[in-house]
Amino acid sequence: MAFVTTAEVCDANQELIRSGELRAMQPIFQIYGRRQIFSGPVVTVKVFEDNGLIRQFLEEKGNGRVLVVDGGGSQRCAILGGNPVVQAQNNGWAGIIVNGCIRDVDEINGCDIGVRALASHPIKASKKGLGEQRVPVNIAGTRICDGDWVYADTDGILVSQTELSV
């Protein structure tokens, strides 16, 4: 999709919004990374205060995908840090959305990737690899499934069941 703002996508797709095929996430995320605008097909991960699965995914080729991480909204530690974000950037991920905290903000802000998270936190998560992958998650009032599409810019984050063309 050529660059179109999320506001324009909403204006042009009122029927998809009414039907629930296009959803806007509640505006709870902070913007990190140099790429403020990103979109792509979704890969979901559900973890709690553990980043082992997140790191595994980001070691793969991203091919323009967006990793959506349901970290349970925990603000007791960071489940994403600078090293995995650099790896994600180098592996071609378009973005990462984290329902939880990140750390190494200065390093992440230097990366050419889009990152959204609730906040930053200096304590690191465990690395046991516990969690679920490619499962539906509920974040910011929105159900997100593996294979959905995300469209993010400075106005917000949209989730669609299909790739959109405007």
Binding-site annotation, residues: 81-84, 103-104
Binding-site residues for substrate, in ranges, read 81-84, 103
How far is Cα 153 from Cα 46, in angstroms, rounded to an integer? 23
Is 155 in contact with 4 (CB distance < 8 Å)?
no
Two tokens, residue 147: 């294979």
Binding-site residues for Mg(2+), in ranges, read 104
